[in-house]
């Protein structure tokens, strides 16, 4: 039943998360180009703004030992849309298996490794043996009732999901088109270490961003947005912290 629910949601997030993330990055690159930062989009242009011919790129097309070029040619033979869908399905199954594996990981606690810990729980005991950090449920005689795992704790199980919809309040700080600013908002979708963020800034900007987690509670990202007064297009490079 969990797989039936997880599969369509996972495929949906996998397909559309990538599209939204690419939309944000491409629009940020276009805005940066408009500010005269052509290096960001990786093109060499002339005075008229036209991309020039590069001998290096032309000769690169004839390299037979380039794995990247072979992959590009291979994908061009097939229907790229179907290939992406197949990858999404396979990745979702992998994510589900990865999540289920983590759910079955024994719970460990950071107590003195050399000491025993016991706490009464409704006729049973929460127990940590000596020379171990595993948590167990035992009866009065010390017989094992259950090894505690991540799936026994709903909040922890939810946190371990690699794909899903979330609602995490965040603080952001960074540099946008108008200058440095701070703000706040929410992360609302996650895919592994990537997240989608919505936030408002002190320079009256509303942003949609994509960020990558660098720690459990923080990350860095790029966002595109609009000014709330003049509806001007903006970009922002930001650091975020989850409350």
User: Per mean pLDDT, which range of 26-30, 169-173, 174-178 is the poorest?
Assistant: 26-30
Asked whether residue 110 is assigned to any structural domain, the reply reads no
Top mean pLDDT of 40-49, 62-71, 188-197 is at: 188-197
Torsion of CA 154, 155, 159, 164, to 10 degrees: 70
* Residue 11 and residue 89 in one domain: yes
In terms of domains, do 135 and 166 share one?
Answer: no
User: Does residue 92 form part of some domain?
Assistant: yes
Average pLDDT over residues 40-58: 53
When pLDDT is cut at 50, 70 and 90, the band that residue 23 belongs to is confident
Handedness of CA 99, 104, 109, 110 (dihedral sign): negative
What residue numbers bound the domain in which 125 lies?
117-148
pLDDT over threshold 80, residue 43 = no
User: What distances in angstroms separate CA 170 from CA 58, 154, 199, 201, one per listed residue?
Assistant: 46, 23, 8, 12
pLDDT at 22 over 90: no
Confidence of residue 91 (pLDDT cuts 50, 70, 90): low
Mean pLDDT of 125-139: 72
Residue 206: what pLDDT? 93
pLDDT at 156 over 50: no
224 and 194 part of one domain: yes
What residues contact residue 166 under an 8 Å CB cut-off, 6+ apart?
187, 188, 189, 190, 195
pLDDT of res. 32: 67
**Are 216 and 123 in a shared domain?**
no
Find out whether 215 and 239 touch, Cβ atoms under 8 Å.
no
Both 69 and 130 in a single domain?
no
Q: Is residue 153 part of a domain?
A: no
- Domain shared by 15 and 89, yes or no: yes
What DSSP string runs through 92-128?
HHHHHHHHHHHHTSBPB--S-TTS-EEEEETTEEEEE
DSSP letter, residue 161: -
187, pLDDT greater than 90: yes
Query: For residue 40, what pLDDT is reported?
Result: 37
- For residues 8 and 96, membership in a common domain is answered with yes
92 lies in the same domain as 8 = yes
Q: Is residue 111 a part of any domain in this protein?
A: no
Sign, CA dihedral 95-153-184-219, equals negative
H-helix segments, the chain? 2-34, 55-60, 67-77, 80-103, 154-160
Q: Hey, which residues does 145 pair with through a beta bridge?
A: none
Show which of 148, 168, 202 is a domain's final residue.
148
Of all residues in the chain, what percent carry a pLDDT higher than 90? 16
- Answer yes or no: do 215 and 130 share one domain: no
Q: Is 112 inside any structural domain?
A: no
In this prediction, residue 129 carries a pLDDT of 75
Whether residue 220 lies inside any domain: the answer is yes
Q: With bands split at pLDDT 50, 70 and 90, how would you rate the model's confidence at 125?
A: confident
Q: Which two tokens stand for residue 213?
A: 């987690």
In a domain, 109, yes or no: no
Binned at pLDDT 50, 70 and 90, residue 104 comes out as low
Q: What's the pTM?
A: 0.49
Same domain (yes/no): 15, 95: yes
Residue 174 shares a structural domain with residue 209: yes
d(CA 170, CA 190): 14
In a domain, 217, yes or no: yes
What's the structural domain count of the chain? 3
- What is the band of 133 on the pLDDT scale with cuts at 50, 70, 90? low
Tokens of 197: 């963020």
Say if residue 93 is in the same domain as residue 19. Answer: yes
């Amino acid at each position: 039943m969990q797989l039936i629910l997880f599969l369509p949601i996972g495929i949906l997030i996998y397909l559309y998360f990538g599209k939204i993330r690419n939309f944000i990055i491409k629009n940020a690159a276009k805005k940066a180009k408009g500010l005269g930062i052509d290096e960001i989009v990786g093109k060499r242009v002339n005075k008229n703004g036209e991309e020039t011919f590069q001998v290096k790129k032309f000769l690169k097309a004839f390299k037979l030992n380039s794995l990247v070029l072979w992959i590009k040619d291979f994908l061009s033979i097939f229907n790229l849309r179907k290939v992406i869908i197949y990858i999404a399905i396979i990745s979702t199954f992998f994510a589900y298996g990865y999540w289920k594996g983590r759910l079955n990981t024994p719970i460990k606690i950071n107590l003195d490794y050399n000491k025993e810990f016991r706490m009464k729980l409704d006729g049973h005991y929460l127990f940590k043996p000596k020379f171990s950090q595993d948590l167990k449920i035992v009866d009065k005689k010390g017989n094992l009732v259950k090894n505690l795992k991540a799936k026994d704790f709903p909040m922890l199980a939810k946190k371990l999901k690699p794909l899903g919809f979330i609602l995490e309040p965040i603080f952001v700080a960074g540099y946008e088109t108008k200058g440095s600013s701070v703000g706040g908002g929410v992360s609302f979708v996650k895919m592994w270490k990537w997240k989608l963020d919505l936030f408002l800034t002190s320079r009256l900007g509303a942003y949609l961003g994509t960020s990558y987690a660098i720690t459990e509670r923080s990350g860095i990202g790029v966002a595109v947005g609009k000014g709330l007064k003049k509806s001007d297009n903006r970009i922002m490079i930001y650091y975020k912290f989850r409350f």
